[in-house]
Structure 1
């Protein structure tokens, strides 16, 4: 006679599953996912439990995509994130309490991965209003960490640092959360980089790299190498940045992490153009834009086009401006600031001062958007 499975027992297993997801323990999380899915078949009438499972499956796949592409893990029967999201959206009206928090938090994470930063912040703000339903301090650390990430990308440095600090203070007293601690060090480093405190930034990045290597996490290793390269580049030590970028590319390629390649390829291409090493610049530009098309990364494809329009013979202002307008539509003002400054400096060195002044003005406009950005993200919940 088959044993009877209770809803409460399956609910406890889903809680345990989420614990493994937050620890990035893929084998344990995968085992429980399969076991819970089988047990749910005998509990078809419990729609709330099925909805809880759907939310957690969505979060499970976000974890997998964050660390490495699903195809490289050879995990079978993994539904696409977009399909899971469409299914959950249909049931959103039934979400209350903690499940409503999970929906908004996980959806914010998804929007963050898609680089839809304003949308991510809006979902995170909705989730924040429901944090009273969350008693687990690790879950609060998860929320603080993701808020820190999205505010970092929007260049709200001190807001990002404060959320990262809150997350770190919780994680550091817990065992088995070394990956999140590694990511906290990376966030500290990235924010220090933005305020040009390079010694502090490199110190945190080096800690993050050592921890990522111990955890055997190539995604985190490659990202940290990229960030160290960015520190050197921003101090105008472009030649010193190159080996770190090449090492990051090698790490990502060995781990078959194509989605992480556009960023180091872009910076390497940009550096070679600025060093007037045109042959290498063309070579990395060709490889980089090919990868973007392969993985459908429209943002970096546009940024590679920008390099082409600026540095290849006869800059094309109309197409350069099209790229900047595209980034503006994504609220990527930090990227606009950087790229418009490159155009301004290019024309300044060519003594085309009128054109240079147009792009210096665009830099100033982008900076004003960044400085006033917090008001953009406040919404009613």
Structure 2
């Protein structure tokens, strides 16, 4: 029909839209989203372009963290995209991102592994870098640090060739520093964080994440006062306070106050965190909230409800969040050691070791399944 927009023009606009998403240019991505919505309605029939558009729409919704259902891809007919190699790549890549946002990290890595088999269909270097960054982050989340570092370095190498991807490069350094921190290389992590912090002045989102990470690095060293300062700075930077990660920072700051025996300062933050958790099913922070509540706030005649503490630990374990369970067990071990309750301290020290072993086994199984 005359007057219809050629599919090739809409496809080109889709590529531009995806480029904005990779660069995290939210404002321009939103403008293009609305522009493309109108173009798709007036486009000449082309199933491939429509499938690509639907995949990118799913990616956009993930980017702005719009609530999704796991069936959305199927509802939009995106399962048919598997007939085209590039769309099949996008299908697995975006499903992997959905699993990641839902904190099902092992499932995310498996799906990324399927996408990686089709990576030769991706010609754009920066699109490949985005994939490497996502996969590296996935391996980081399941404690497979060797694989994580390899993929993150590949992503950084590509992103650093274009200044417009500077925020992505900094995010890569942020993840490398987080790995150092979790491995106990606190000084090396600190050096990475400080260098990135100086370079991130023009990127408020990244800047706030680095401040948050510096706080977490201090928590792992049991330097609670310093952690408090960094968390407070993060919450005052950009719009961090109003983001999903910002709510995690509020929770972490509240937990610091509890460790410092300042329940009065913790409670207003916990009220905000509870409101957030009512709207978002975040297993990690729901479990930690339960543990800290019964460790520091809710006691009967000074006695801790061990069943509730273990309930929180088991929530982490049942969702395969073994690293978080390990960190929590290590903290509980230190807590009981300071109270001279050595039996309990030993119990949680053993649990921390078991969780580390579980994490390594889980990662190994996941790698095999993704090959």
Q: TM-score, normalised by structure 1?
A: 0.87
Contact 1:157-1:194 within 8 A present in 2 as well: no
Distance 2:139 2:215 in 1: 22
- Say whether 1:54 aligns with 2:54: yes
SS in 2 for 1:276: coil
1:346 CA drift (Å): 2.5
- Say whether 1:146 aligns with 2:134: yes
Q: Give per-residue Cα distances to partners, 1:22-53, cap 9 Å, x unaligned.
A: 12223332333223222222336322211110
- 1:29/1:269 Cα in 2 relative to 1: closer, same or farther (>3 Å)? closer
Residues 1-381 of structure 1: matches in 2 within 5 Å? 3-43=3-43, 45-65=45-65, 80-82=67-69, 85-87=72-74, 90-95=77-82, 96-215=84-203, 217-218=204-205, 220-251=206-237, 254=239, 257-312=242-297, 313=299, 314-377=303-366, 378-379=368-369
Moved more, 126-135 or 38-47: 38-47
1:269 CA drift (Å): 2.6
Contact 2:21-2:63 within 8 A present in 1 as well: yes
- 1:269/1:25 Cα in 2 relative to 1: closer, same or farther (>3 Å)? closer
Q: Give per-residue Cα distances to partners, 1:151-188, cap 9 Å, x unaligned.
A: 11222222211111111111111231112012011111
Contact 1:59-1:106 within 8 A present in 2 as well: yes
Report how many residues are paired. 365
Which structure 1 residue ranges, 4+ long, deviate > 6 Å from structure 2? none
Contact 2:208-2:237 within 8 A present in 1 as well: yes
Q: Give per-residue Cα distances to partners, 1:266-301, cap 9 Å, x unaligned.
A: 322332232233333444434433332244434312
- 1:84/1:178 Cα in 2 relative to 1: closer, same or farther (>3 Å)? farther
Distance 2:349 2:76 in 1: 44
Aligned-residue CA RMSD (Å): 2.4
- 1:90/1:4 Cα in 2 relative to 1: closer, same or farther (>3 Å)? closer
1:89 CA drift (Å): 6.2
- 1:373/1:134 Cα in 2 relative to 1: closer, same or farther (>3 Å)? same
1:208 CA drift (Å): 3.1
Distance 2:37 2:71 in 1: 14
Contact 2:240-2:246 within 8 A present in 1 as well: no
Unaligned runs of 5+ in 2: none
SS in 2 for 1:135: coil
Distance 1:28 1:287 in 2: 31
Distance 1:84 1:30 in 2: 23
SS in 1 for 2:164: coil
Contact 2:55-2:90 within 8 A present in 1 as well: yes
Unaligned runs of 5+ in 1: 71-79
Distance 2:267 2:242 in 1: 23
Distance 2:122 2:346 in 1: 51
Distance 1:368 1:380 in 2: 20
SS in 2 for 1:246: helix
Contact 1:156-1:373 within 8 A present in 2 as well: no
Distance 1:168 1:366 in 2: 31
Moved more, 19-28 or 159-168: 19-28
Q: TM-score, normalised by structure 2?
A: 0.89
